[in-house]
Structure 1
Amino acid sequence: MHRPSLHNLSRNLGMVALTALLAACGQQTAGTAPMGALPKADLSENATVAQSGKLRYVQNELMVGYTDDASLKRAVSTLKATVVATIPEIRVALLRVEGDSLKVSAQAFRLPGLRYAQANEIIAGDQLPAGQVKGDLNAQAASADQIFDELPQYALDPRHLNAKAAWDAGLNGQGVVVAVLDDPGDVSHPDLKANWAGKAYNPFLNKVYTDAAEWVKDSASEFADHGTFVASSIVAADDGKGIVGVAPKATWLPVVINPAAKQTNEFYSSFYIARAAVWASNNGARVLNNSWGGGISFGAVKDAFDYAMSNGTAVVASMGNSYYDEFQYPAALPGVIASGALDGSNRRVTFSTMGRHISSSAPGQDTMLASPTWQGGGHALISGTSFSSPYTAGVAALVYQKCPSATPFQVRRVLETTANSSIGSNPNGFDRDTGWGALNAGNIAKTLTSCDKLPAKGANVKINVTYIDDSGQHPGVLGDVMLRGKGMRAGATDDPTPLYLSTTDAQGNATFAEIAPGEYDLYVAGSDLSVTGGLTEERGTYIGSFTATSGSTRANPDIKQVVLTAASPDFNPVDPYEPNDSPSAAKPITYGQTTQTAYIYNKPSDYDYFSFAGTAGDDIKAEVLAMGQLGGSLDSYLFLFGPDGKKLADNDDRGNPRIDSDSEISLKLPVSGTYYLAVTSYNIAEGTGDDGSPFNKYKLKLAKTN
């Protein structure tokens, strides 16, 4: 699996990692990189890449979700932006803006008619799981029932996916189209060319290919092989040669989200991944395979997947190769079928990410897959949840062949209820290691004898949140919403009770697509104080019940209105001490004083200066109360300068050993005179970038301790 560098844990304007939407505006760890240092296909013309924490984004590109064309036009005018491209189906636009898009997003986020505004993030994947590389094909001790076409494929035998039993019953994927969102898949490979659907798509170029030779010419690279591996596990033809896919009569659409031209991972930005998903669904794909991860729980990609599911397209994603029990995206998005990896003994492979959101598992270690012809062709043994996911996508295609009108949730439940539940840590059903068990295509053929036997349809839900504070009523922006199935046994590894998480957009809406119908405990909290800062009592909480109705749709969802007594985040704060950006403009502070809330915000390389009168021999203690003690997003840095202007001390993180990211200086003053304290962010102090978050708040406290 191409798993980006956990940017689900990074935070930036308009992006959500469960409880954190805006924190990384103050977490820049690198400046801009020259265009030549990045793959050309990652960028729009003349664009550069900036970095904030783990987030990499196109510096002058802003992605906005809009409610109607008039709202988009108004936003473009207000921001003095130009429209690069739109995805009309989900009302998302890519704008070119003046200045840094991460900073512009703070202004854009509050414009009327915009659901969100986020810097156009560039996905950046990593390698295969540690120790998992292409294997040797020689020493394969295969039993007779593992030989399919020419080569052994344990994944398809009766003890694993049990594929032949499904084929013998007529379930082979005939008539179903599967899209592979990945690096370029090789449509000329002998195992794949017969089942190519005749189209391939590059969302960055917005180009549809219908000529195989042209596609191969534009795709061939020593780094692009992942998409070919993935596609072959789904649709390799049953022709007596090479290998065979689990759905050998299905057809496939290669869709590039990672050009892999100059290095293994060159993922396109979020806008183009969203465009890719929408195109695939519009062009007949009933299943989208996503063997990548590390995304976010909010924004254009989620909108695109929700749109696809509303079209009857199932979205499958690999759980990840992190070795941990954790949320990763897109696997953890509501409605997505999340796949874990098993070895040849039907045990969870150690690298396979675990979690309550896992659906089921499939072979993902030493799987026999096709290598692209531009790398010499042939086959390789390859490992990762990247390859359990397409096996899952292929089995989903078998369900769609039998029941074309099935909804994505029904497909998921068919896979789960027919899985071999004896594997994993709970031999009697669900566990967080392997989900509902090992997929078994033969069981599906035996069980799904008619479409009347499909499970109940899923539900689609919208929770709308409103804040009421001293200044009135406001949309419940940045709120955390949790739907927790009734009766959940918190912490139990064998509890299948559903749990879904989302964060509200600029209009206070959180949506949940294709989730399990039923009764839920609903938990809502106001904006995350670790992001925005503030007092606990300012956040506000709600606990109630909610019913998700089978058959509700994206167009007609189950709706719940929640009103919280909670402070609305201030996206345009006023610093009471500005201008104080130099020693000559320093604002006075005295012993025993703590300043009002101030901000490192709204200007490049912001330093705030404060002056105080000190006497030789004074033991002083200066403290910056910031992210560690007030919340918010400021990783502070503090300097102390003497009367002669020379630096006497500086501090990044207080405490030895470290307490938190706030700053503190204690010193005996050497002479009498006027001293200066300068507050800034770690990134500015280190020269690694500007900070732009409106939540970069702090207070400065000065004391004489002798």
Structure 2
Amino acid sequence: MRKLWTLALLGLLAACNQNAIRPPQNPNPTLASGENLTYVQNEVVVAYQDEAALQEAIRKLGATEIARIPELRAALLRVPGDALKASKALKGLPGLRYAEPHLAMALAPKDDPVVQRRAGGGGLAPLGNPPDQIFDQLPQYALDPRHLNARPAWDRGFFGEGVTVAIIDDPADVTHPDLAANWAGLAYDPVTNTTYTQASTWTAFIQGLGASNIYHGTFVASTVSAAKDGQGIVGLAPRTKFLPVAIFQPNYVGDFYTARGIVWAVNNGAQILNNSWGGLGYGNLVKEAFDYALTNGVVVVASAGNSYKDEVRTPAGYPGIIASAAADGNRNKTNFSTYGRHISSAAPGLDVLLANPTWLGGGYGLISGTSFSGPYTAAAAALVKGACPGATPYQVRRALETTTWEQTFTREKGWGHLNAGNLANLLAQGCSALPQKGSVVRIKVEYQNERGVFTGVLADVILRGQGLRPGDPTDPTPIYWAKTDQNGEAWFYEIAPGTYEIYVAGPDLAVTGGMPEDRGTRVGTIVARPGSSAGQPDFMYVRLLAREP
């Protein structure tokens, strides 16, 4: 069997031991490459089961602990040599779930195809725009009756009030006139583990990073939370609060700090996480951070990517995450949007009008990319959570999918283009009208050969819904993918209930190409029950006749 090569995330478009000595953070880490990875040359992420195992890993590597994420039982270690070699040296160490180099091959989310800034909104007056595109002051086709159809939702009182959305991105502007009223009052730098509570100190932090390269998070935040106040623009969920989490400063801070930012957002009241970034590959720690969010009932939305291809990018491709494709003014998929079977729905992502940060002149600008269809989707999710705070992540996903314009599946737009008016019709029926709850599945893998039985480490596990029709672009049958840890366990949170065929291992798609349905050795089926949970998952034990990897 061949292991799945871990590829660090590409940007679109990443309880402390009080007795440990903390080395200073390195603002300009040395990067290294190997085995299709780019990582911090001398930093290793270790996920441990107990303190003794972590300390043994530190001793074995001659490492120094930099930081921890207690909720994930993960630590960042500085090692004297190459991180890739060091992580391999820990293979099989009792009490460790996994060790991996600190992945850092993420680019700031600046590959969105178009950005045109106009400070102060100059040149963006309504002119010949239809009246139904004016919601505050400036025209916004994305919200009009032919696209997101926002007004019927607002007329029925669905504004996302009481919901907090974390903007996992570069640091968003909390002082912009359309955003200041809806800032949640907290902002986070995961590298230094600093929580900011004053707009002035947060802005000073951004200026210290080189603010001329930082704008993306502000555009994203305004998609969701721009206030409905008669000036500028309005977000789809204009009474939500937003939490900025700076994982691009302006470059990607690495998987460890991204995971720490995700956990911080969950612990500080976020009910929805927006992620307008991603790339090819798989990071164990980042997936575990999103699993932590899903376990806590937090909805996770990710932009599909701007690769023009039918392919699975992460985090959009992780189980339980709502993946958003970008649509144009005709509600068709844009040419640049990534697409595929994993797509949940589509939202406007071409020439949308959003807020430009004040340190770049303020005002507004036109911008394109799945980076903005994603937060429109997060905003639609906020409408659901505002009406039904107890809705689970899967219920929120299906509420959006079953109320689109089309309500039929294609690989290009998932279940179709979001329609907030249709969504409001569902929510008006009460929370009992929401779709059924999702499922949590746990698979444990072992290998057996003539020498005995071995833990199924580094296995690729795929759950493929029964009845899948390979090659049919209208087949909605779900496929989910996860990797096992050093305990041989793979987890799938908030997935669609149903019967799944289980496939383990198979060729690495990152190297060979191909579709997920072409991979793996079929080893049985499992029924995912509605409402199964992390505490009571649907479980299957798998033993393969295979060599130890």
TM-score normalized by the length of structure 1: 0.71
Q: Distance in 1 between matches of 2:355 and 2:29?
A: 36
Aligned to 1:92: 74
Find the residue that maps to 1:302 and give its secondary structure.
helix
Superimposed CA distance per residue, residues 207-256 of structure 1 (whole angstroms, 9 cap, x where no aligned partner): 00000011011113011000000000100001100100000001000100
Amino acid at match of 1:191: D
Other structure's SS at 2:372 match: helix
Partner of 1:433: 412
Query: What is the CA-CA distance between 1:24 and the residue it aligns to?
Result: 8.6
Change (3 A) 1:131 1:295: closer
Taking the aligned partners of 2:465 and 2:35, their CA distance within structure 1 comes to 34
1:548 equivalent to 2:531? Answer: no
Give the equivalent residue in structure 2 for 1:444.
Answer: 423
User: 1:414 deviation in Å?
Assistant: 0.3
| Matched position secondary structure for 1:339 | strand
2:223 is the alignment partner of 1:233: yes
Write the deviation string for residues 73-95 of structure 1: whole angstroms up to 9, x where unpaired.
22222222221111111111111
Distance 2:274 2:266 in 1: 12
Consecutive unaligned residues in structure 1, runs of 5 or more:
1-17, 26-41, 261-265, 422-427, 532-538, 570-706
* CA distance in 2: counterparts of 1:516 and 1:558, whole angstroms: 12
1:159 and 2:146 aligned: yes
Question: Counterpart of 2:40 in structure 1: which amino acid?
Answer: V
* CA gap 1:549/1:227 in 2 versus in 1, 3 angstroms: same
Instruction: Give the secondary-structure state (helix, strand or coil) at the position aligned to 2:114.
Output: coil
Deviations 1:376-414 (A, max 9, x none): 000000000000000000110010001000110100000
* Equivalent residue for 1:192, pick from 179, 188, 204: 179
1:152 alignment partner, SS class: coil
Percent identity at matched positions? 54
The aligned residue for residue 480 of structure 1 is 460
Larger deviation, residues 195-204 vs 81-90: 81-90
Whether the aligned pair in 2 keeps the contact of 1:232 and 1:244 (CA below 8 Å) is yes
Question: Closer, same or farther in 2 for the Cα pair 1:526/1:340, shift >3 Å?
Answer: closer
Q: Secondary structure at the match of 2:535?
A: coil
Q: In the alignment, residue 190 of structure 1 is paired with which amino acid?
A: P
Taking a change above 3 Å as real, the CA distance of residues 147 and 286 of structure 1, as seen in their structure-2 partners, is same
Q: Partners in 1 of 2:507 and 2:215 — Cα distance?
A: 42
Q: Give the corresponding residue for 1:699.
A: none
* Change in 2 beyond 3 A, CA 1:46/1:315: closer
1:135 positional shift: 6.4
Report the CA distance between 1:133 and its aligned residue: 2.9
Give the Å deviation of 1:51. Answer: 2.3
Do the aligned partners of 2:317 and 2:342 also contact (CA within 8 Å) in 1?
Answer: yes
Cα distance in 2 between the residues matched to 1:529 and 1:198: 43
- 1:557 Cα deviation from its structure 2 partner: 1.3
Q: Is the 8 A contact 1:199 1:209 kept in 2?
A: yes
* Contact persistence 1:540–1:566 (CA under 8 A): no
When structure 1 is superposed on structure 2, of 331-340 and 44-53 the one drifting more is 44-53
Residue type at the aligned position of 2:385: Y
Q: How big is the shift at 1:540?
A: 9.2
Indicate the residue corresponding to 1:71 in structure 2.
Answer: 53
What residue is the counterpart of 1:105 in the other structure? 87
Q: Answer yes or no: is 1:81 the counterpart of 2:63.
A: yes
Deviates more, 1:473-482 or 1:409-418: 473-482
Paired residue secondary structure (2:490): strand
Counterpart residue identity of residue 107, structure 2: G
Name the structure 2 match of 1:518: 498
Q: Does 1:249 align with 2:239?
A: yes
Per-residue displacement from partner, 1:535-576 (whole Å, max 9, x unpaired)?
Answer: xxxx9944311101111112221110000010002xxxxxxx
Looking at structure 2, the residues matched to 460 and 359 of structure 1 have their Cα atoms a distance apart, in angstroms, of 18
* Cα distance, 1:228–1:127 mapped onto 2, change above 3 Å: closer
What's the CA shift string for 1:462-501, capped at 9, x where partnerless? 1100001122110011222111111111111000011111
In structure 1, C-alpha distance between the alignment counterparts of 2:339 and 2:75, rounded to whole Å? 34
Equivalent-residue separation in structure 2 for 1:181 and 1:273 (angstroms): 8
Deviation at 1:174?
A: 0.6
Change (3 A) 1:71 1:277: same
| Equivalent residues of 2:218, 2:355 under 8 A apart | yes
Q: CA deviation at 1:526?
A: 6.7
The residue number in structure 2 matching 1:389 is 374
Cα deviation for residue 295 of structure 1 reads 5.2
Paired with 1:249 and 1:311, the residues of 2 have a C-alpha distance of 23
Contact 1:477 1:508 in 2 (8 A): yes
Partner in structure 2 of residue 60 of structure 1: 42
Find the aligned partners of 2:144 and 2:479 in 1 and give their Cα distance.
33
Greater relative contact order (Cα < 8 A, sep 6+): 2
SS at match of 2:224: helix
Aligned match of 1:144: 131
Q: Secondary structure at the match of 1:222?
A: helix
* Other structure's SS at 1:134 match: strand
Q: CA 1:432–1:68 in 2, change beyond 3 Å: closer, same or farther?
A: same
Q: State the match for 2:156 in structure 1.
A: 169
CA displacement 1:620-663 (0-9 Å, x = unmatched): xxxxxxxxxxxxxxxxxxxxxxxxxxxxxxxxxxxxxxxxxxxx
Task: Give yes or no for the alignment of 1:414 onto 2:399.
Answer: yes
Looking at structure 2, the residues matched to 474 and 345 of structure 1 have their Cα atoms a distance apart, in angstroms, of 54
Residue 433 of structure 2: which of 453, 473, 481 is its match? 453
For 1:417 and 1:310, locate their aligned partners in 2 and report how far apart those are by CA, in whole Å: 23
Residue 447 of structure 2 aligns with which residue?
467
CA contact (8 A) 1:526 1:566 kept: no
Over the aligned positions, Cα root-mean-square deviation in angstroms equals 2.3
Q: How many residues align?
A: 518
| Structure 1 residues 408 and 530, CA gap change in structure 2 (3 angstroms) | closer
Question: Which residue of 169, 175, 190 maps to 1:203?
Answer: 190
1:198 is paired with a residue of what secondary structure? coil
Provide Cα deviations, 1:587-606, integer angstroms capped at 9, x if missing partner: xxxxxxxxxxxxxxxxxxxx
Equivalent AA in structure 1 for residue 182 of structure 2: N
Q: What are the residue-to-residue correspondences of 1:260-299 with 2, within 5 Å?
A: 260=250, 266-294=251-279, 296-299=281-284
1:171–1:401 contact (8 Å) kept in structure 2: yes
Cα deviation for residue 109 of structure 1 reads 2.5
Name which of 94, 97, 103 aligns with 1:121: 103
Kept in 1: contact 2:109–2:277 (CA 8 A)? no
Q: CA contact under 8 A between 2:49 and 2:73: conserved in structure 1?
A: yes
Aligned equivalent of 2:339: 354
C-alpha distance in 2 between matches for 1:164 and 1:300? 40
SS in 2 for 1:462: strand
Correspondence for 2:18:
none
Q: Distance in 2 between matches of 1:456 and 1:125?
A: 38
For 1:219, the equivalent position in structure 2 comes to: 206
Residues 4 and 459, structure 2, Cα contact 8 Å, conserved in 1 = no
In structure 2, what is the equivalent of residue 695 of structure 1?
none
In structure 2, relative to structure 1, the CA distance for the partners of 1:542 and 1:138 (3 Å cut) is closer
Cα distance in structure 2, aligned partners of 1:520 and 1:345:
36
Q: What is the Cα deviation at residue 131 of structure 1?
A: 4.9
In 2, distance between residues paired with 1:383 and 1:558? 41
Matched, 1:331 2:313: no
Alpha-carbon contact 1:479-1:527 (below 8 Å) kept: no
**Alignment of structure 1 residues 39-58 onto 2, 5 Å:** 44=26, 47-52=29-34, 55-58=37-40
Find out whether 1:377 has 2:377 as its counterpart: no
Q: Which amino acid aligns with 1:21?
A: L
- CA-CA distance at 1:46 after TM superposition: 8.1
Structure 2 unaligned spans of 5+: 9-23, 512-518
Tell me how far 1:45 sits from its aligned partner. 6.6
- CA positional deviation for 1:130: 7.3
Structure 1 residues 129 and 78: alpha-carbon distance in aligned structure 2, compared to 1, 3 A threshold: closer
